[in-house]
Structure 1
Amino acid sequence: MVKILILEDDRKMASELKLFLKNNGFNCEVVHDGGVFLNMDLGKFALYLLDINVPTLNGIEVCKRIRESNSLSPILMLTAYSSVSNKVQALNFGADDYLVKPFHLEELLARINALLRRSAREVKEEEDVIYTVDDLEVNISEMKVQRAGKQIELTPKEYKLLALLAKAKGRTVSKQVISEEVWDINFETGTNTIEVYINFLRTKIDKGFNSKLIHTRTGYGYYLKKI
């Protein structure tokens, strides 16, 4: 089920949006304060609905933070601000669409579906990409990995984990996202499965090379980058 995160400080409207979207097959989570985003895992949502005028951290700043860690999930701004300058600012900071209040829920649903269709096409296009980090190549379409021209044999889980890190293009991927994308489960703090597989990858990818590519960002997750 598609996960949507709603940022809306009007609790009545937030409740109505959540119920409407739930009835149309979406799984929604609601927050009422932009500051909540400072401690959230932003990689697990397929789409964001953001009001601009919310407490602590406004929707524009939230949009910027989402784009710093998540380049693919669409962002739709829901706001009472209708001026061109506000729309331009939101779009320049990474929003994909802009809907002015009041709006019809049917139009919101149509825009959400359009954004998700476009996002799905972009993800599909990425599947034919070869990601290169230093002398490491991850061929997504052929599911092949090589470093310095030498083929590297990975298990399906190892490959899926490496591909997830490669697609992040140097950004940190959280343990929560890794557990959901690679193992299809919610992350449990008591397990070290992810650390074990990261070590497997380091042995196969980095061992014997001066340049180490798989790195840990303590307290956050892992990233793939030449440093």
Structure 2
Amino acid sequence: MNNFFDNLKYLFWVTLIVVFAFLTISVSTKPVDYFSVYIGFLLSFLGIYFNDYFTKPNIKICLGSEDESPNGTLKFVHINIINLDNPSWFFIFRRRSAEYCKVKLKILNTDGNTLCSFFGRWSSKGEPITSDRKIDISKFPEGVIASVSPSKSLDELQEGKMAVAVKFHNENPCYGFNDWSYAYDFKHPQFALQRGKYKVNVEVQTSSQRFYKDFTLNNQSLDIKDFTLTSKAVSC
């Protein structure tokens, strides 16, 4: 909705500039300086373009934390979705929040075959369960969509933490993770991944943009200490 109003605002200003220019030309008794009019139009459109370019969300997909349960029975691996703001010295433009963010996770084997694909669950959202610990499917859409506010640095995490997979100690498989995992005590059979190495495609979808990054999921032993998510990229 914010993008709609932003575009409406740009359209309003462009229309106003065009109307003003033609009114000026029509009432002028002097020869029209078409070059100046052209430069005025060009500068107006450049202003609109740069405003959009430097204020639209700037999504970075980074490695997140590796969280073990206190008793050491299971471990989650995460990614962080960060909407990185412009530097503080670049005060003219600030980034907008990324609205209606969804993250699609696709896990593939080493041959490139897709094993499972699902929308991830934002950790900032409440668990999709009722007070008596039963599954509440009505909460599933809420867990999939989030608005990610701008962060001043890659170390400042707003709403963007998301679990990719979970592994139980001394068990062979690990499991992809999302809201549906709660219905299977985190062991969703369709998300089961036997021992091995896997490629994880991450696609972040906002209301108007798409961002992509690949990771490697390592599940090569029974020990959760060896269960990791890695990336070839040096940084986000």
TM-score tier after normalising by the smaller chain length: under 0.3
Higher relative contact order (CA 8 A, sep 6+): 2
Relative to its length, the structure with more helix (as a share) is: 1
Q: Output the TM-score relative to the length of structure 1.
A: 0.25
Larger proportion of strand:
2
